[in-house]
Amino acid sequence: MNHNSNLVLPSHQTETQTQDETDISVWRFRGSDTAAKASSVTMRVIVYKLFDECSLDVKKPLLPLAHGDPSVYPCYRTSILVENAVVDVLRSGKGNSYGPAAGILPARQAVADYVNRDLTNKVKPNDVFITVGCNQGIEVVLQSLARPNANILLPRPSYPHYEARAVYSGLEVRKFDLLPEKEWEIDLPGIEAMADENTVAMVIINPNNPCGNVYSYDHLKKVAETAKKLGIMVITDEVYCQTIFGDNPFVPMGEFSSITPVITLGGISKGWIVPGWRIGWIALNDPKGIFKSTGMVQSIQQNLDITPDATTIVQAALPEILGKANKELFAKKNSMLKQNVELVCDRLKEIPCLVCNKKPESCTYLLTKLKLPLLEDIEDDMDFCMKLAKEENLVLLPGVALGLKNWIRITIGVEAQMLEDALERLNGFCKRHLKKTESSFQALSNGKI
């Protein structure tokens, strides 16, 4: 079976069924469109469109580099120690029962011990809630903040699930910029300018998806001070904290919880490369008890009470999985990702219409800016990716899916040979669509393109 067979399938479409001539007005039910607006801003919708452009007629294997799941490639398989932790629970029969909505106590204790390694203000097991992956943590926290007229500040570019869930929860979305010329730092003056009396929170992603940067201690402290000035919490997504291959050290936002209350979202999907196990957490970094006095703790618990619980088997394995987490466990994965970054950046030098302003030092993606003036018959990043998929069976993610128009995101969490093939196709595609100018012909003849 192909490595990519479990990835996003090309279409939701089903075969057309024969329909009788009966007037549907006799039926009292209709499909709800409650999720329509939220669904329209998800990354999946765009990826489905790109997959639909691919064709067997191209005579090239499909290369899906629009979304990230290194787990489908054997070279990224998680540690046998991690697998054995789950196997042991399975064979013991200790993971066969229901668990409480907030998670079983050993799992909550394990997460608290794990995040406390880097925190001055320690969290307790009662500050931790186990979720069905980090995504459920996003959903629960945003729903807990929802109230009439409330707005939330999201980064641009960003992981699209935040906007989708904010829209679904009825939160107004306001976007602040991440600044590429400042290594994707947060535009703090911009945040102050857009916040008002209805702003409830700001979201940061560190290490950053999709930019691949890791924020410094000083910058995060300024983030906390800005949040305090505005009277809002910081929601920090730190699911990539064990996927760092650059020189900047990771600093948890919870270090600044004495300045402003912080909700940390995390999980094992990225660091341990097991996204299918669906285990994440919400950790409340709040030494002053602000979340309790404002009703946030109660709201989070109430929202968990009406949502599915994380699988008990993997929860019961968390003490073993997190207890043995160390740099050596993640070294092989991070080394491969660093090598892939070097490979992609080196090859992009041969493709003038794509420029990488900063090498990523974390996560599994690389952002590159599209230089549209050099291309003909390409309107924007979406058009670029649609035609690339159609002509080359190569699927990259247009930046518009992340809120960053005319950029392209390339997944690096794949096998190196797959990247080699993808970059060769990308180079060929760009050559075909390069404007036929004297300078471009000169570059071609000199082998620079």
What backbone phi and psi angles, to 5 degrees, belong to 128?
A: -115, 135
Rounded Cα distance between 63 and 61, Å, is 6
What average pLDDT does the segment 2-27 reach? Answer: 58
* Tens-digit pLDDT profile for residues 60-100: 999 999 988 999 999 999 999 999 999 999 999 999 999 99
When mean pLDDT is compared across 7-16, 208-217, 376-385, the lowest value belongs to 7-16
Rounded Cα distance between 65 and 408, Å, is 11
* Tens-digit pLDDT profile for residues 207-258: 999 999 999 999 999 999 999 999 999 999 999 999 999 999 999 999 999 9
If asked whether residues 108 and 165 sit together in one domain, one would say yes
* Tens-digit pLDDT profile for residues 276-289: 999 999 999 999 99
Asked if pLDDT for residue 29 goes beyond 80, the answer is yes
Give the neighbor-by-neighbor strand order of the sheet with 151-156.
128-131, 280-285, 262-267, 233-237, 199-205, 151-156, 172-179, 185-186
Asked if pLDDT for residue 188 goes beyond 90, the answer is yes
CA 422 to chain centre: 22
Rounded Cα distance between 180 and 195, Å, is 22
pLDDT of 442 reads 57
If asked whether residues 292 and 392 sit together in one domain, one would say no
Task: Examine residue 211 and state whether it is found in any structural domain, yes or no.
Answer: yes
Burial environment of residue 214 by CB neighbours within 10 A (0 to 12, 13 to 18, 19 or more): buried
Task: Examine residue 17 and state whether it is found in any structural domain, yes or no.
Answer: no
If asked whether residues 357 and 414 sit together in one domain, one would say yes
pLDDT of 298 reads 98
Q: What is the mean pLDDT of the chain?
A: 93
Question: Over the Cα atoms of the chain, what is R_g?
Answer: 23
Last residue within a domain, chosen from 279, 297, 326: 326
Rounded Cα distance between 171 and 165, Å, is 9
Confidence of residue 439 (pLDDT cuts 50, 70, 90): low
Please state the domain count of the chain: 2
If asked whether residues 345 and 289 sit together in one domain, one would say no
How many beta carbons lie within 10 A of that of residue 438, not counting itself? Answer: 7
DSSP letters spanning 408-436: EEEE-SS-HHHHHHHHHHHHHHHHHHB--
If asked whether residues 321 and 340 sit together in one domain, one would say no
Asked if pLDDT for residue 364 goes beyond 50, the answer is yes
Closest C-alpha to 291, from 312, 262, 319: 262
Closest C-alpha to 428, from 371, 353, 368: 353
If asked whether residues 302 and 349 sit together in one domain, one would say no
What average pLDDT does the segment 364-376 reach? Answer: 96
What average pLDDT does the segment 357-383 reach? Answer: 95
Distances (CA, A) of 390 to 6, 220, 221, 432: 21, 42, 46, 14
pLDDT of 22 reads 67
Asked if pLDDT for residue 19 goes beyond 70, the answer is no
If asked whether residues 273 and 374 sit together in one domain, one would say no
pLDDT of 67 reads 86
Tell me which residue range forms the domain holding 266.
80-326
Last residue within a domain, chosen from 326, 359, 388: 326
Last residue within a domain, chosen from 326, 360, 391: 326
The domain that contains 153 carries what CATH number? 3.40.640.10
Task: Examine residue 8 and state whether it is found in any structural domain, yes or no.
Answer: no
What average pLDDT does the segment 360-373 reach? Answer: 96
What average pLDDT does the segment 148-172 reach? Answer: 97
What average pLDDT does the segment 40-57 reach? Answer: 92
Asked if pLDDT for residue 14 goes beyond 50, the answer is no
Query: Above pLDDT 90, what percent of the chain?
Result: 87
Task: Examine residue 13 and state whether it is found in any structural domain, yes or no.
Answer: no
The domain that contains 372 carries what CATH number? 3.90.1150.10
If asked whether residues 158 and 215 sit together in one domain, one would say yes
Asked if pLDDT for residue 21 goes beyond 90, the answer is no
If asked whether residues 429 and 287 sit together in one domain, one would say no
Asked if pLDDT for residue 187 goes beyond 70, the answer is yes
Confidence of residue 357 (pLDDT cuts 50, 70, 90): confident
**Residues β-bridged to residue 153:** 174, 202
If asked whether residues 120 and 58 sit together in one domain, one would say no
Task: Examine residue 15 and state whether it is found in any structural domain, yes or no.
Answer: no
pLDDT of 24 reads 81
Contact 348, 356 (CB under 8 A): yes
pLDDT of 433 reads 96
Distances (CA, A) of 362 to 182, 218, 249, 407: 17, 19, 10, 18
pLDDT of 449 reads 46
What average pLDDT does the segment 122-149 reach? Answer: 97
When mean pLDDT is compared across 129-138, 190-199, 333-342, 439-448, the lowest value belongs to 439-448
Task: Examine residue 281 and state whether it is found in any structural domain, yes or no.
Answer: yes
If asked whether residues 141 and 219 sit together in one domain, one would say yes
Task: Examine residue 22 and state whether it is found in any structural domain, yes or no.
Answer: no
Task: Examine residue 14 and state whether it is found in any structural domain, yes or no.
Answer: no
How many beta carbons lie within 10 A of that of residue 305, not counting itself? Answer: 10
Confidence of residue 41 (pLDDT cuts 50, 70, 90): confident
If asked whether residues 141 and 241 sit together in one domain, one would say yes
